[in-house]
Amino acid sequence: MHFLPVRPGFFVFLHFFFDQISIEVKRTEIKHALLSEDFEQEIKVMGWVRTKRTSKNVAFIALNDGSVMHDLQLVVDLEKIPEESLALMHTGASVAAFGKLIPSPGSGQRVELAVSSIELLGEANPDEYPLQPKKHSLEFLREKAHLRFRTRTFSAITRLRHAMIFAIHKFFNDRGFYNIHSPIITASDAEGAGEMFQVTTLKLEKLPFDENGEIDYKQDFFGRKANLTVSGQLEAELAALAMSKVYTFGPTFRAENSNTSRHLAEFWMIEPEVAFNDINDNMDLAEEMLKYLISYALENCSDELQFLSKRQQEEEKNKKPEDRSMELIEKLQFVLAHPFERITYTEAIDILRNSNYNKKGKFAYPIEKWGADLQSEHERYLVEKHFKKPVILTDYPREIKAFYMKQNDDGKTVRAMDVLFPGIGEIIGGSQREEVYEKLLQRMEEMHIPLESMWWFLETRKFGTVPHAGYGLGFERLMLFVSGMTNIRDVIPFPRTPLNCEF
């Protein structure tokens, strides 16, 4: 065995090597730090300062890294670390801190970090940083959408939103559904409603015209008029008529100029489509899915829900008791515990027509006759005042529903279903589909659906057609319900609404 002579330079190298190791200690996420039992090892945490308070010999910094609802309390002994080195660590600044976890003597947290060294990563000048630790209105935060993830409310919503996305895929995967990516750019109008965003590469200042003086879309990118999709349903139907059980989960776009707290111009929709299912199977699937998602949130997001519940109570504390919402967690458990009421549109119209609300003129749109489209005030009356639980309405007049819905034998109604939720109104819209070629063709003609661009949809009814059904869940409407938030702009990171496309 040979011993290499150890030269002085080697010690310098070793020293340098260990220095590097301490710098390269891996970051511990605050989520893991808060649960850790290891009080021996030095750990490194990194995040953003929520608050800092300094007393005579010690400073406390509440640090959050978004991994979890709670902050980690950093305890800085000012006799070891000079106060000046913390001077720039204001709310919003980013820092890295080393130290050992210790059981916390204070109430409010199980462990805290006894800081051995701390480094400023990026400052946040308190004269400029807009999110100082005080209450901000949701309207104000919408104007700061680039920073609002840093607030407790939006980080809670972001984690909850992620959990719901994951749960949706899990729900369908566990039941043997296949996920389909339906196209975002399409040449067809799935809902026949006409409120679409056009996609074009034509120069708007220099449009080409044909011999009839019409815009010549042959010269456009796709050689035809194209739009952003309003729904992935039609393509999901094509897939279901081979794969049996499919679902889409994608962005959808509607150019309706409705500035309400429940409408977005860009929103996410979950659209299952199932071959061999009828309207009753469709209702069962919708109810099972909604209950699954709610129980998933209760089981996996309890910190977020508790926080959001307190937030809601705080927000509503100046309201009269009878105007306050049911406590959030209680509301979610209530929905789980009760079967949804299932009634027909015709029954709903009778209830609404005979209601005190209607008689006393409390509806902005009084219900006079069968055939009226239901407004959200009517939907909410049925859910919140009459049945006091979620309601599934079926068999709507065919005049107010889309062309693809299965026609009932009465010649007046279609096998539509809308799921109505308290505080939301319509959360799901769906139907059994018309699978009979002649009937579908006739309805498309009556409703002036351009047949030449929908030949492929019709062909599925020519070749091996089967009964099938599906629905669309508005993801942000689900998020409104589960979070207890009241404006849809606050449950999506970057809302797109009329005149609003900043971030």
Query: Which is nearer to ligand 4AD, 52 or 406 (by Cβ)?
Result: 406
Among 182, 212, 216, smallest CA distance to 202 is for 216
From 166-174, 277-285, 374-382, 470-478, give the range in contact with ligand 4AD by CB under 6 A: 470-478
Direct distance between the N- and C-terminal alpha carbons of the chain, in angstroms, rounded to an integer: 67
Under 8 Å between Cβ of 27 and 44: yes
Q: Which residues contact 449 (CB under 8 A, 6 or more apart)?
A: 189, 192, 403
Residue 496: contacted member of ligand 4AD, Mg ion, none (CB under 5 to 8 Å, by partner type): none
Question: Does the footprint of ligand 4AD cover residue 414 (CB under 6 A)?
Answer: no
From 35-43, 141-149, 165-173, 422-430, give the range in contact with ligand 4AD by CB under 6 A: 422-430
* SS3 category, 393: strand
Question: Does the footprint of ligand 4AD cover residue 495 (CB under 6 A)?
Answer: no
Among 496, 482, 476, 495, smallest CA distance to 160 is for 482
Question: Does the footprint of ligand 4AD cover residue 69 (CB under 6 A)?
Answer: no
From 124-132, 304-312, 349-357, 426-434, give the range in contact with ligand 4AD by CB under 6 A: 426-434
Residue 430: contacted member of Mg ion, ligand 4AD, none (CB under 5 to 8 Å, by partner type): ligand 4AD
Q: Which residues contact 222 (CB under 8 A, 6 or more apart)?
A: 185, 187
Query: Which is nearer to ligand 4AD, 472 or 484 (by Cβ)?
Result: 472
Q: How far apart are CA 426 and CA 429, in angstroms?
A: 7
Report DSSP letters for 282-318, one per residue.
HHHHHHHHHHHHHHHHHHH-HHHHHHHHHHHHHHTTT
Q: Which class for 223: exposed (0-12), middle (13-18), buried (19 or more C-beta within 10 A)?
A: exposed
From 38-46, 305-313, 424-432, 448-456, give the range in contact with ligand 4AD by CB under 6 A: 424-432
Residue 271: contacted member of Mg ion, ligand 4AD, none (CB under 5 to 8 Å, by partner type): ligand 4AD
Under 8 Å between Cβ of 336 and 291: yes
Q: How far apart are CA 113 and CA 490, in angstroms?
A: 33
Under 8 Å between Cβ of 463 and 472: no
Question: Does the footprint of ligand 4AD cover residue 237 (CB under 6 A)?
Answer: no
Under 8 Å between Cβ of 394 and 410: no
Total binding residues toward ligand 4AD, as defined by CB under 6 A: 21
Under 8 Å between Cβ of 70 and 145: no
Q: Residue 240 CB, nearest distance to ligand 4AD (Å)?
A: 11
- Both structure tokens of 392: 């599934």
Question: Does the footprint of ligand 4AD cover residue 347 (CB under 6 A)?
Answer: no
The binder of ligand 4AD chosen from 30, 428, 449, 480 (CB under 6 A) = 428
In 3-state terms the chain splits into helix, strand, coil percentages (rounded to 5) of 35, 25, 40
Query: Which is nearer to ligand 4AD, 46 or 145 (by Cβ)?
Result: 145
Query: Which is nearer to ligand 4AD, 267 or 345 (by Cβ)?
Result: 267
User: Would you give the binding string for ligand 4AD spanning residues 266-285, x where CB under 6 A is met?
Assistant: -x-x-x--------------
The binder of ligand 4AD chosen from 427, 440, 449, 479 (CB under 6 A) = 427
Question: Does the footprint of ligand 4AD cover residue 241 (CB under 6 A)?
Answer: no
| Residue whose beta carbon is closest to Mg ion | 429
Apex CA 79: angle with CA 74 and CA 80, to 5°? 65
Q: How far apart are CA 328 and CA 376, in angstroms?
A: 21
Q: How far apart are CA 466 and CA 460, in angstroms?
A: 9
The binder of ligand 4AD chosen from 250, 422, 429, 484 (CB under 6 A) = 429
Q: Please, which of residues 360-389 interact with ligand 4AD by CB under 6 A?
A: none
Question: Does the footprint of Mg ion cover residue 425 (CB under 5 A)?
Answer: no
Question: Does the footprint of Mg ion cover residue 472 (CB under 5 A)?
Answer: no
The binder of ligand 4AD chosen from 148, 159, 254, 468 (CB under 6 A) = 254
Q: Beta strands 111-122 and 72-77: pairing type? A: parallel
Q: Residue 474 CB, nearest distance to Mg ion (Å)?
A: 9
Q: How far apart are CA 95 and CA 81, in angstroms?
A: 15
Q: Residue 273 CB, nearest distance to ligand 4AD (Å)?
A: 7
Question: Does the footprint of ligand 4AD cover residue 406 (CB under 6 A)?
Answer: no
Amino acid at 266: E
The binder of Mg ion chosen from 47, 429, 430, 467 (CB under 5 A) = 429
Q: Which residues bind ligand 4AD (CB under 6 A)?
A: 190-191, 231, 233, 254, 263-264, 267, 269, 271, 426-430, 470-472, 474, 476-477
- Chain contacts with Mg ion (rule: CB under 5 A): 429
